[in-house]
Amino acid sequence: MLKLGVLGSGRGSNFVAIADAIEAGKLDAEIRVVGSDFSDAPILDEARRRGYEVYGCPKSQFKTKLEPEIETELAQVLLDAKVEVVVLAGFMRVIKAPLLEAFPKRIINIHPSLLPDFKGLEAWKQALEAGVAETGCTVHWVNEEIDGGAILGQEKVPVEEGDTAERLHARIQVAEHELYPAVLKHLAAQWKGEV
Buried-exposed string 116-143: b where 16+ CB fall within 10 A, e elsewhere:
eebeeeebbbbbbeeeeeebbbbbbebe
DSSP class of 69: H
Indicate the residue whose CB is closest to ligand GRF. 90
What is the size of the binding site for ligand GRF (CB under 6 A)? 14
Q: What residues from 1 to 60 belong to the interface with ligand GRF (CB under 6 A)? A: 8, 10-14
Contact 58, 36 (CB under 8 A): no
108 binds ligand GRF (CB under 6 A): no
Give whichever of 32 and 111 is closer to ligand GRF, judged by the CB atom: 111
When binding is defined by CB under 6 A, the residue of 19, 27, 29, 89 that contacts ligand GRF is 89
Q: Specify the 3-state DSSP secondary structure of 75.
A: helix
What minimum distance in Å lies between the beta carbon of 191 and ligand GRF? 23
> Other C-beta atoms within 10 Å of 77: how many?
18
Give whichever of 71 and 176 is closer to ligand GRF, judged by the CB atom: 176
